[in-house]
Amino acid sequence: MASHRRPKQPSRARVTVLTTAAAAAVALTSQAANAAPSEKPSKDEVKAKVDKLYEEAEQATEKFNGAKEKQEKLQKEISTIQDNVARGQAELNELRDSMGLAAAAQYRTGSIDSSVQLFLSSDPDDYLDKASTMDQLSAQQVDALKKIQEKQRELAQDRSEAAEKLKDLASTRTELGKKKKEVQGKLAQAQKLLNTLTAREKAALAAEQASASNESAGEALGAGAGSGRAGAAYAWAQSQLGKPYVYGATGMSSYDCSGLTSRAYAAAGVSIPRTSQAQAGIGTKIYSVSQLKVGDLVFFFNDLHHVGLYAGNGQIIHAPRTGTVVRYESMGTVGGPFMFGVRV
């Protein structure tokens, strides 16, 4: 006879587990179906990110330039002090030798006096104090000892100053290395982003930049040439159009922003500081664009990390950033606010 026993029902706990698992599976499947595939950033998005990285790299570049300039200045100062110390030591040795010869002559004649003996065996400062009351020195010996005393003081001061500057130099070199790494890191990040673009996208970006520069050039050339030394600096900058931006460069094959402006004014016979921040502190400040003249220095961003030369009609000539060349550009597309101009 067939069995009529009912099949064993699953426990309530097992039903709950199975139900939960099934719901999770359905949810995951639904999420997978609805999730958008990972999208590659657009050309404009890449450009915006790259421009930001280049701006940060330029900020670090101007700090790098400042540290490099300080290093060069310290090296020159240290070299001068070391030369002074060498000359001073030679003079001191000569003074001591002359005193020694005088003592030797007195010894040979048996007339060496207590004053020379004291000099040869004790500190000149202490001895001069004693000699002033004992009247044991001749006028010539007093003069010689005073010269030795003064030369010793000068040498001690020079050596102390050299030691401090050497410490400052070591600190500056450390800062220089950090800023160089920071710049290189930003540029590497930017290049990595640019590498995500197709050849067609890269060509499109280059074409956009070239078109904008050509339009700015037309506007600038319509403003005419400058005059005086500002005009001479501007004319020289025009001769550098098309040369690439390289951080830390001052020509003649490449430039960064302040490298171009400092070299342009040097070509006009005017020495100005190396960095944009230092250049902002010279001359007469001009806050209205309408008051600017061709060749005036123009500064951008709140920290003044970018500088160019005014080209007229709201245009500038400058070395913008890595990946570009010396070119014309509208002041409104530099990427940061115009702060003021400087007439040198």
Confidence band for 29, pLDDT divided at 50, 70 and 90: very low
User: pLDDT grade, residue 128 (50/70/90)?
Assistant: low
How far is 186 from 40, CA to CA, in rounded Å? 21
All residues at 6 or more sequence positions from 210 whose CB lies less than 8 Å from its CB, including other chains: none
Q: What is the pLDDT of residue 323?
A: 87
Task: Please indicate whether residue 305 is annotated as part of the active site.
Answer: no
pLDDT of residue 290: 95
User: Binning pLDDT at 50, 70 and 90, where does residue 132 land?
Assistant: low
**Exposure pattern of 263-288 as b/e (b: 16+ CB <10 Å)?**
bbbebbebebbbbbbbbbeebeebee
Work out the burial of residue 256: count CB atoms within 10 Å of its CB; fewer than 13 is exposed, 13-18 middle, 19 or more buried: buried
Catalytic entry in 99, 144, 257, 304: 257
What tens digit of pLDDT does each residue of 209-228 get?
Answer: 889 889 999 888 877 788 89
The number of beta carbons lying within 10 Å of the beta carbon of residue 116 is 22
Strand positions, DSSP E, the chain: 284-286, 297-300, 306-312, 315-318, 327-330, 338-343
Is residue 26 predicted with pLDDT exceeding 50? no
Active-site annotation holds for 257: yes
Which residues contact residue 327 at a Cβ distance below 8 angstroms, ignoring those fewer than 6 apart? 213, 216, 217, 241, 242, 317, 318, 320
- Residue 121: which pLDDT band, with cuts at 50, 70 and 90? low
Residue 8: the pLDDT is 53
pLDDT of residue 101: 63
The length of the chain, given as a count of residues: 344
Other beta carbons within 10 Å of 179: 22
Q: How far apart are CA 119 and CA 124, in angstroms?
A: 6
Is a pLDDT exceeding 60 seen at residue 4?
no
Q: Which of 318, 327, 328, 331 is catalytic?
A: 318
Report the distance separating Cα 219 and Cα 76, nearest Å: 45
Reported as a single tens digit per residue, the pLDDT across 42-55 is 889 999 999 999 99
Residue 13 pLDDT: 45
Question: Of 238, 246, 309, 314, whose CA–CA distance to 279 is shortest?
Answer: 309
> For 162-176, what is the mean pLDDT?
94
The span from the CA of 217 to the CA of 208, in Å, is 14
| Predicted pLDDT of residue 91 | 86
pLDDT at residue number 191 = 94
Asked if residue 304 has pLDDT above 90, the reply is yes
pTM over 0.75, yes/no: no
260-278 mean pLDDT? 97
Of these ranges, 95-99, 217-221, 305-309, the one predicted with the greatest mean pLDDT is: 305-309
Q: What is the 3-state secondary structure (H, E, C) of 220-238?
A: HHCCCCCCHHHHHHHHHHH
One of 306, 308, 320, 326 is an active-site residue; which one? 306
Reported as a pLDDT band with limits 50, 70 and 90, residue 158 is very high
Token pair recorded at residue 15: 């039903």
Confidence of residue 114 (pLDDT cuts 50, 70, 90): low
- Closest-CA residue to 164 (of 77, 54, 281, 270): 77
Contact 305, 245 (CB under 8 A): no
Question: What pLDDT score was predicted for residue 32?
Answer: 46
Q: Strands 338-343 and 327-330, how do they pair?
A: unpaired
Measured CA to CA, the distance from residue 80 to residue 74 in angstroms comes to 10
Identify the band that residue 127 occupies on the pLDDT scale cut at 50, 70 and 90. Answer: low
Position 82 pLDDT exceeds 60: yes
Q: Is 4 a catalytic residue?
A: no
What the chain holds in terms of domains, given with CATH numbers, is: 43-193 (1.10.287), 216-343 (3.90.1720.10)
**Strand bridging mode 315-318 / 327-330:** antiparallel
